[in-house]
Structures are given as structure tokens and as C-alpha cells.
Amino acid sequence: MLEILTTTLLVAGLAGCLAAPLGILLGYWMARSEFPGKSVVETLIALPLTLPPTAIGYLLLVLFSRGGLLGNWSPGFLFTWKAAVLSAAVMALPLVARTARAAFAEVDPRLELMGRSSGLGSLAVFQRITLPLARRGLLAACLLGFGRAMGEFGATVIVAGIIPGETETLSLAIFQEIQLGNSAGALQLVAIATLLSFLLVWTTERLLRRRASS
Amino acid sequence: MIAFDVQLQQGRFLLDVQWQSQARCLGICGPSGSGKSSLLEALAGWRTPRRLNLRLDAFSVPSAQIPPERRELGYVPQDGLLWPHLCVRENLALGCANPQLAQRTVAVLGIEALLERLPADLSGGERQRVALARAIARQPRALLLDEPLGALDAGLRRRILPYLARVGEEFRIPTLFVSHDPAEVLALCDEMVLLEAGRIVRGGPPAVLLREQDSVLGAFENIFHGEVVQADEGTALLQLAEGGQVSVAARGIQVGERVLFSIRSDEILVALERPTRISARNVLPAVVIAVVEEGNAGVRVDARLDEGRGALLSAVLSAAAVRELGLSAGAELYLIFKANSCRLFTSQP
């Protein structure tokens, strides 16, 4: 049980660490850039939200298989904890990016322009003005991404399998217990998953509510 | 010197303005939608014009490609735009080029007690003073003030205006000052331009232009710098800088205090002989300098106090009254107005 919980937190944590910076940058870019075809790019970024996770998993499998585009670059990548982290990160990324976009969109761009008129470069404005003003929304984005990564199943089972101690996260373990007919074990895992999800969603809601009131 | 040449297209609206001025403070007036704010935003780098050239003595912003952070301009918009997550001290420190100047600015604008407060805890007037201090602390080549008092109520505007005047005297920074209020422009600007539909239609000394632009900017307001020479209960006697003394209704004002005084041109009466047993506190002998027909607005009578050597006041009268009194240049008369009709701009609450 502890092993499953540790694997889950490690995989989801690392996936969150991957998805958070990329999602935040994508969110900023979506909130602040205007160019022809922007809506198409935004739709592509959001695709993993609506595509069956198994489809994403299969695409990753093809990509990293021997002979795939990235297969030669990373031999032995599939069916390891790294594959589990990557698939969870890919599934979490659009959620992080969209939540981050909403957080950045709430920051008045004139406050950023005022920063530049005060002599700050673009990077300094981002660090000193944009990020602090969007911080609650961005933290909520990271928590949602972590939660999404923690619950990931479809893509992970295809690219990482269910390897105890390496890729067997809570959601995979629940599936495994059901397959084995172990209802008590499955229920125990479901209870833990429910508790973790509750804490995550509750914290996120509190952050978003405080953001709205401030 | 302030010189600019800007062409900015926004949808169907075209702003196309050029001006060169030796004024330290140039007022930019005009009706809503004439392009006043767009001009300042283009100069600040917040909009990208087709053509841009700004010159301030030896310094210049020669093209629209220069990013805002390299323009060295202090911009204060109508809402101040303080960073809400930073206290006043941090707002002033971020991007501050000269901490000593920042300290001096804090003292001049009287915001020492506000330094640890967040913008959300400041009143409208305090916010604008902090925004002004932030812009000056950056040691800018010029200040761009976009109706800095526009969001404040009349009472607050009266209290902030002397601070703006003090900033002009203290720091001598070339300033472009956008305002709807003739009193503000008269009080602060050496020269003004009038914008209409994206073009400069007139330019010159505010006292001359505003006397001629009643229809655009409302009734002309006579405004003067003065010093309190006597303060009794409820009234004060002011010595106007340009000559002449007036009585104004004021409480809590100190002898020696420097203030701005204004009286609307349509609140001044005229008499050829000194009236007696009259309630109005101001019955001031003056000499007519000019009598100007203003169409539907009536006739403007410009007269100087102190036997024709003092402050120039304008009174707007009906054509019939001017005919009946036989007013013409050189005539001697009395300007009459109530102490209560005067507006006093002072930094005291």
C-alpha cells in the first residue's frame, strides 16, 4: 500500500513538475499573444482533455517504440516510471495551461505596461508583476495538474504498464485489484484516492475563491 | 522644449498631430474621443503608431520601435495603475532610478504616512499622489499626465491640484498634461493645444485659448495663484500673484499659505459705480481691456484689477447689459462677486 502511494505521489509530482512550467508558459502565451490561427493552436493544446486517454497513450507508444520518431533517441523508455511520468504530464498539461491562461487573463495588461514604462524589461515585468498577481490562479493550475496526473490511467497503462514499485499508481492499482477480484483491496485504495482528491480539490477551490475575492 | 509628431491609426480613427513648444507644461485639451489619451499612450509606447518622434531638449524618442522601458517617460493614467500586490514603498521602489529623488518626491507629495499601505487601502487622491510620486522617482525626461485628477470628486481635485503645481515648481520636468478642466490647465500649463477629431486645431497660452473656447470646455474660469494675507473667521483675503486682492470663503486656512483661486466668468457682475450696502464681499475696481462678442454665450468683458496693471479677469455678460452700460476698452468699472462663489484650491483638508 505504501509502495503504491509513494509511486503515485512520485509519478504525479514529477509529472506536475514537468507540466507546470510548460503549462504556465503556454497559458501566458495564450493569454497575451494574438496571431492568425490562434484558436486552432489552442484547440490542439486542449485536445488531450477530450481525446480518449488510450488514444494519447497509443500515440505515445508509437512515438517511443523502436522505429518511432523518438524511439531511437530514448531506447528502453517505454514501460518504465519515466514513461508513466511523461504520459501523466501530457494528460495534465492542457488542464494546467488552460487554468494558467485564465489566471493570466485576469491580470490587467496595463499593469504590465506600467512596469515597462517604469523601466522594467519584459522578463522583469513577468517576474515582478505578472507572476505575483496571477500566483493564486497558477498555484491552483499546478494543483489541478497534479490531481489530473494522480488520477491518470488510460495513457499510462498503455505506455508504462502496471509494474509494482515502478509504474503501479493508485488508479492502476485499483484496476488491478478489481481484475483480481479483490474488492476489499480496491475499496481501500478508492478510499485513499478519494481522500487525496478531496484535499486537492478543496485546496484548489479555496485558492480560486480567494483569488476571486481579492 | 517639447516637440512631438505622431500618426496613429485606430480602426477608423486617425490621430495625426505635430507640435513644438517651449513650454515646460503643455496642456492637451479637447472633447472626449478627440485622441488626447491615445496621444499620451502612443508617446509612452503603449500603442504602436505609424509615425512617432518625440523630442525633449537633447533627449529624443525617434521611433515607435523604442520599447516603453527605454523611453524614460513617467506616465500617470487617470486611474493611477498602482501595482495592487505591492505596498506604496514597493510601488515607488520598483523601477526607481534615484532613491534620493524618491525620498524628496515622497516629502513634496506628502505621502510619508502611506508608505506601508497597500493601494487598496488608499483613497482616490492618495492613490494619484503615489502614482505621481512613482512616475517622478523614475527620474523621467518628461511626465505624461492623463487626467490625473479625472477620477476624483471636486473636493479632492481642489486638494490635489496644489500638489501638482508644487511638483511643477519643484522638479521642473517637462510635462504633457491632458485635462478636461480649464481650471487645471490654467493653473498648471504654460501653453495648451486643443485637439478635435485627432487633429490639433489651436494652440497658445491657456488664458487666451480658454477664453475663446467656452463652448468646448464649459464656462471660462478665472484662476490665479495667490497668497493668504489675512484670515478671519470664515473668510480669507488673498493677494493675487498678478496683482489685486480678493476675499474668499475659507476655513482653517493660514496666513502665508499659497493657494490657487478661481471664479467662473459667469459669476462676476459688473457696475459702473461702486455699489453701497451690498452683500458681495468683492467689489473690485478694474479697467476694461477688451470687449469680445461670443455669439450665443454672450459678451466677454476682460478687465484688469489694480488700475489696469493687475490680474486679468473675464466676466461674461449679456449683449443687452454691455450695450446699456456702454462698455468698451479703457472704461473703468467694478467687478462684483461673492466670496462664496470663489473656489479655493488648497492642500488643506
ipTM of the assembly?
Answer: 0.79
Could you tell me the three cell numbers for B80? Answer: 493611477
Phi-psi region of A145 (alpha: psi -120 to 50; beta: other; left: phi over 0): alpha
pLDDT of A175 > 70? The answer is yes
pLDDT of residue A179: 92
Residues of A in contact with B134 (CB under 8 A): 118
Alpha-carbon distance B99 to nearest alpha carbon in chain A (angstroms): 14
The partner residue sitting opposite A119, judged by closest CB among B46, B84, B138, is: B138
Q: At what angle do helices A53-64 and A81-105 cross, to 10 degrees?
A: 120
Query: Which pLDDT tens digit goes with each residue over B212-257?
Result: 655 445 567 788 888 999 998 888 999 998 899 999 998 878 898 8
Same fold, B2-216 and B223-345: no
Percentage of chain B surpassing pLDDT 70? 94
Q: What is the mean pLDDT of residues A146-165?
A: 92
The partner residue sitting opposite A110, judged by closest CB among B69, B81, B138, is: B81
* Measured distance CA(B65)–CA(B54) in Å, rounded: 12
Helix (H) or strand (E) holding B195: strand B191-196
Q: How many residues does chain A have?
A: 214
Do the Cβ atoms of B69 and A117 come within 8 Å? yes
Alpha-carbon distance A4 to nearest alpha carbon in chain B (angstroms): 41
pLDDT of residue B155: 65
Alpha-carbon distance B112 to nearest alpha carbon in chain A (angstroms): 21
Residues of B in contact with A114 (CB under 8 A): 75, 77, 81, 83
pLDDT of residue B269: 95
The reply to whether A21 touches chain B by the CB within 8 Å rule is no
Residues 6+ apart with CB under 8 A from B67: A116, B45
Topology, domain B223-345 = OB fold (Dihydrolipoamide Acetyltransferase, E2P) (2.40.50)
pLDDT of B347 > 70? The answer is no
Residues of B in contact with A113 (CB under 8 A): 44-46, 68
pTM of the predicted protein model? 0.77
Query: Which pLDDT tens digit goes with each residue over B162-215?
Result: 778 778 778 888 999 998 877 788 888 999 999 999 999 989 988 777 766 554
pLDDT of residue B90: 95
Residues of A in contact with B68 (CB under 8 A): 113, 116-117
Closest CA to B230 of B204, B211, B257, B208: B257
Do the Cβ atoms of A118 and B95 come within 8 Å? yes
Residues 6+ apart with CB under 8 A from B198: B13, B14, B15, B16, B17, B34, B35
pLDDT of A187 > 70? The answer is yes
Residues of B in contact with A115 (CB under 8 A): 83, 94-95
- Judge contact between B50 and B9, C-beta under 8 A: yes
CA dihedral A95, A97, A98, A104 (to 10 degrees): 140
Q: What is the mean pLDDT of residues A121-143?
A: 94
CATH C-level class of A2-213: mainly alpha
Alpha-carbon distance A146 to nearest alpha carbon in chain B (angstroms): 27
Q: Does domain B2-216 have CATH number 3.20.20.70?
A: no
Percentage of chain B surpassing pLDDT 90? 54
pLDDT of residue B215: 47
- The DSSP bridge partners found for residue B239 are B227, B245
For B14, B55, B185, the CA distances from B250, given in Å and listed in that order, are 46, 43, 23
* Measured distance CA(B16)–CA(B349) in Å, rounded: 42
pLDDT of residue A186: 94
Confidence of residue A211 (pLDDT cuts 50, 70, 90): low
pLDDT of residue A71: 77
- Judge contact between B286 and B335, C-beta under 8 A: yes
Query: Which pLDDT tens digit goes with each residue over B86-98?
Result: 999 999 999 787 8
pLDDT mean across residues, chain B = 88
Return the CA Rg of chain B: 22
Q: What is the mean pLDDT of residues B13-40?
A: 93
The reply to whether A111 touches chain B by the CB within 8 Å rule is yes
Cα three-residue angle B4-B9-B15, rounded to 5 degrees: 45
* Measured distance CA(B233)–CA(B331) in Å, rounded: 35
Alpha-carbon distance B197 to nearest alpha carbon in chain A (angstroms): 25
Backbone angles phi, psi at B290, to 5 degrees: -155, 150
Q: How many residues does chain B have?
A: 349
Domain spans of chain B, in order of start: 2-216, 223-345
Closest CA to A18 of A28, A6, A30, A26: A26
What is the number of CB-based contacts under 8 A between chain A and chain B?
51
Closest CA to A93 of A121, A122, A56, A68: A56
Q: Which of A110, A114, A116, A123 should be substituted to probe chain B, the one whose Cβ sees the most B Cβ atoms within 10 Å?
A: A114
Do the Cβ atoms of A119 and B97 come within 8 Å? yes
Do the Cβ atoms of B75 and A110 come within 8 Å? no
pLDDT of residue B349: 39
The partner residue sitting opposite A120, judged by closest CB among B75, B77, B95, is: B95
Domain spans of chain A, in order of start: 2-213
Do the Cβ atoms of B138 and A113 come within 8 Å? no
pLDDT of residue B100: 87
pLDDT of B16 > 90? The answer is yes
pLDDT of residue B107: 87
Residues 6+ apart with CB under 8 A from A52: A154
* Measured distance CA(B127)–CA(B331) in Å, rounded: 49
